[in-house]
Amino acid sequence: MSAARIVAQQILERPNSTLALPTGETPKGMYAFLVRFYQEGLLDFSQVTVFNLDEFLAIPPDHPQGFRAYMQEHLWSKVNLNAENIHIPSSTPEDPWEECSRYEALIEEAGGIDLAVLGIGANGHIAFNEPGTPFESLTHVAVLSPDTRKNEASRFGGIDGTPERAITMGIKTIMRARRILLLASGEEKAEILAKAIFGPVTPEIPASVLQLHPSLTVVVDEGAARRLL
Ligand code: GLP
């Protein structure tokens, strides 16, 4: 509810806001509340522009475990977003690096991101910026770490069927957002969240870069907050 309220506030203050949006288990509740706010007539998405943070490469565009299908299910099909304002990297581009430049340019053309909503991976990744990714990175082709692939494997019927690469907004792309909202839920995120928020700022824990952002809000549940106190 807190996360949805922050996103709603952004849209109410600036109806033509540009948002960067995450996938995963964590933001499902936020999307459910945003849909409810829309259904209750409290929110209008008609002028909002959305960019997904990332998408797997080399899966069919309608793959049920792809982020396009996830967003369709949790947000896009349920609110009044304009189709031309919905952006996600292609999972089947002819030239993946060209797709990255196109995506980065689209974000720039939209005037940059007003609010970037992020989850955090078990290894501290944000979007698919895996440990070691330079802080200067723009949208790029990411090679998924063995840990990340292992975490995704059950959704893809085993490690062999799990994508090896993804297109992701870079750390710099994300850090350019005017405001950032980091979400974390569950005890399994407590350790990495504490490192990201209070530990050294290092590319080994990509989320730690967020300490340098001038407008960061962190929303956590009780489990994820366990190591923050
Ligand atoms: C994926 C996404 C990230 C997300 C992370 C955590 O790797 N690329 O953007 O933050 O998963 O997901 P969950 O919320 O399911 O733990």
- For 100-129, the pLDDT digits (tens) are 999 999 999 999 999 999 999 999 999 999
C-alpha–C-alpha distance, residues 48 and 87, integer Å: 11
Q: Which domain holds residue 154?
A: 2-187+198-220
The answer as to whether 193 is a domain residue is no
206 C-beta closer than 6 A to ligand 1: no
The answer as to whether 226 is a domain residue is no
Query: Ligand 1: which of 31, 70, 125 to mutate, most ligand atoms within 8 Å of CB?
Result: 125
The answer as to whether 102 is a domain residue is yes
Residue 1, pLDDT score: 76
Residue 155 pLDDT greater than 80, yes or no = yes
Residue 15 pLDDT greater than 80, yes or no = yes
The answer as to whether 227 is a domain residue is no
C-alpha–C-alpha distance, residues 111 and 105, integer Å: 10
The answer as to whether 62 is a domain residue is yes
Crossing angle of the two packed helices 28-39 and 2-13, in degrees rounded to 10: 50
> Which of 52, 54, 55, 74 does the annotation list as catalytic?
54
Q: SS3 for the chain, per residue? A: CHHHHHHHHHHHHCCCCEEEECCCCCCHHHHHHHHHHHHCCCCCCCCCEEEECEEECCCCCCCCCCHHHHHHHHCHHHCCCCHHHEECCCCCCCCHHHHHHHHHHHHHHCCCCCEEEECCCCCCCECCECCCCCCCCCCEEEECCHHHHHHHHHHHCCHHHCCCEEEECCHHHHHCCCEEEEEECCHHHHHHHHHHHHCCCCCCCHHHHHHHCCCEEEEECHHHHCCCC
Residue 54 is a catalytic residue: yes
Cα atoms in the 13 Å half-sphere on the side-chain side of 211: 15
Residue 83 token pair: 């189709």
pTM for the whole thing?
0.98
C-alpha–C-alpha distance, residues 168 and 138, integer Å: 8
Residue 79 token pair: 């609110």
Mean pLDDT for 176-185 is 98
Query: Ligand 1: which of 53, 120, 145 to mutate, most ligand atoms within 8 Å of CB?
Result: 120
Residue 61 pLDDT greater than 80, yes or no = yes
Where residue 229 falls among pLDDT bands split at 50, 70, 90?
Answer: confident
Indicate which CATH number applies to the domain containing 25.
3.40.50.1360
The answer as to whether 192 is a domain residue is no
How many independent structural domains does the chain possess?
Answer: 1
Residue 125 is a catalytic residue: yes
What is the CA 90 to chain-centroid distance, rounded? 15
